[in-house]
Amino acid sequence: MSGKIPTGLSSIFPKSTTSQNIQQILPVRVKFVALNSDSFPLTWKKYGEYLGMGGILFEELNNPGNTNLESLTFATPLHSNLKTLPLINEIVYIISLPNPSAQTDINSGYQYYYFQSINIWNSVHHNALPNSLANEPTKAQQYENTEAGLQVQSSTSETLNLGKTFKEKEVRNLQPFEGDILLEGRWGNTVRFGSTVSDSIPPNPWSNNEPDGEPIIIIKNGQTESTDDAWVPQVENINSDKSSIYLTSTQQIPIDGASINYDSYETPPENPNEYIGEQVLVNSGRLYFNAKSDSILLSANTSINLNTQDTVNIDSKNKFIVDTNEIYLGSKDATEPIILGDKFLTDFKKLLETVIQLTTALPTVGTPIPFIPNITVAQTATKVGLQAQTMLASISYYKSKTSKTL
């Protein structure tokens, strides 16, 4: 690369050099991002294949328009554990620092590393700055639109070159409040390390008369659709954002429960949207908890509530065990006890055996001398005796094969 870039954005950045007169820090435009071997196999192999993953090819700001990627310079991410991959045409800082060969030759063992993209448009979605804006009015207008509000390009207009699959959408910044630390992805996925901020402008839904400075963490994926101007930032909305996790300390969160029915309680718990205090709220279109090698354990000091507008289904391939002092089925006011199967059937068996003995003796009842049997009694006794024998023979079938009780 050349030593100086005297025009454009680079003129506002510091120019420090190494002993070999290599400029150490300067802004450049990203032209290629190495993510796999498919898009540019020669460069992928040249820069170490997977060792170069996440690296970029860049052009100098005062020398735009070079379409020969092979002639561009390569830079790798500066940080190994936290990577923000730039898009094509975004501007990044690069810095010249030692590479592995510096162990043997400190004077020549240098390579370029890049920082995250420069926040040119103050947009979480993208901050691309195309080549030669003055010579390409169509692109220039697109970028003015981007600066004004991240407007989605129509299918008939020239689209911005941001990458192979990255297409511009309307994605809003997250509204900051005093003291916040915000992590924002490019697609409306955010993490807020925030706090209670009373009388905030705009207001936020978690600051309702609690002391300022109480901590809250909000994890959100997908933003709420809005009719506001596209550049207006958004505040999280637990009911309309696609998926959210709220970790509160003293806040009250206005979540709309899908089903709020606590008829089984003598003393119902507070509704989720009325509770003030430490809680974790998880809200999405569907929740799926999976323990792939062990157990899911739910533990509560007071109660565990399962609440639904339709059915509660429990499927087990082995056993369903409830260990408790009392079980109420149908209502918390249920009073009728459940019969103990073994005890009842043991006594019932004895009763049937006695009935059979009785029905065997009954046909002998009649006028003693001369003996005249009572036909009605005899017929009834025979019928009852046969029924009792049938019930006695099948008594084991009265026992449930699945349900047990104490």
Specify if 88 maps to a domain.
Answer: yes
Model confidence pLDDT, tens digit, residues 363-396: 665 556 565 666 777 777 778 888 888 878 887 7
Q: Look at the block and give the residue holding tokens 């003996």.
A: 371
Give CA–CA dist 169/345, Å, rounded.
71
Residue 373 lies in a domain: yes
User: Among 133-147, 221-235, 261-275, 366-380, which stretch is predicted with the lowest mean pLDDT?
Assistant: 133-147
Whether the pLDDT of residue 185 is over 90: the answer is yes
In a domain, residue 208? The reply is: yes
Please give the tally of structural domains in the chain. Answer: 3
Is residue 2 domain-shared with residue 110, that is, in the same domain?
yes
Asked whether the bond before 370 is cis by omega within 30 degrees of 0, the reply is yes
Model confidence pLDDT, tens digit, residues 159-183: 678 988 898 888 999 999 999 999 9
Domain that holds residue 274: 171-289
Mind listing the pLDDT tens digit for each residue in 49-61? 888 889 999 998 8
Contact 77, 94 (CB under 8 A): no
More confident residue, 398 or 12: 398
Residues 266 and 132 in one domain: no
**How high is the pLDDT of residue 405?**
74
Among 255, 289, 323, identify where a domain stops: 289
**Band (45; pLDDT cuts 50, 70, 90):** confident
